Amino acid sequence: MSAKLLEPAFLERMKPVEVSDCTYALSVIGTPDGQGNVLKALARRAQPENMLSKFTSRQLVLLTWAFARMQMRPVRASMPLRWPREARM
């Protein structure tokens, strides 16, 4: 399963909800040594150059929670969060 999740073509087709759901499942049943690289690959989908703008705040929180549960640091942890325009008004 981990091998399939790491395939670039498979990752590129995943929607934000699928990414966050997978990170949740991996953090509950996986280990940092066993699935940490998959968790990082999934998190790369939530970067600005990929599809960050399509993630909801709940999906981003779940993604962050998955890293915390596995006691790992998220990819690009120092990346500033950009709030939606509506939240700034």
d(CA 89, CA 73): 31
* Token pair for 75: 């990819």
Task: Name the pTM for this structure.
Answer: 0.78
pLDDT at residue 71 in the model: 92
- Local confidence band at 1 (pLDDT 50, 70, 90 cut-offs): confident
In tens, the pLDDT along 49-88 reads: 889 999 999 999 999 999 999 999 876 644 445 545 544 4
Domain boundaries, the chain: 2-74
Segments in the chain forming alpha helices (H): 2-6, 8-13, 16-29, 32-43, 57-69, 85-88
pLDDT above 70 as % of the chain: 83
The values of phi and psi at residue 49, to 5°, are -75, -10
Indicate the average pLDDT of the chain: 85
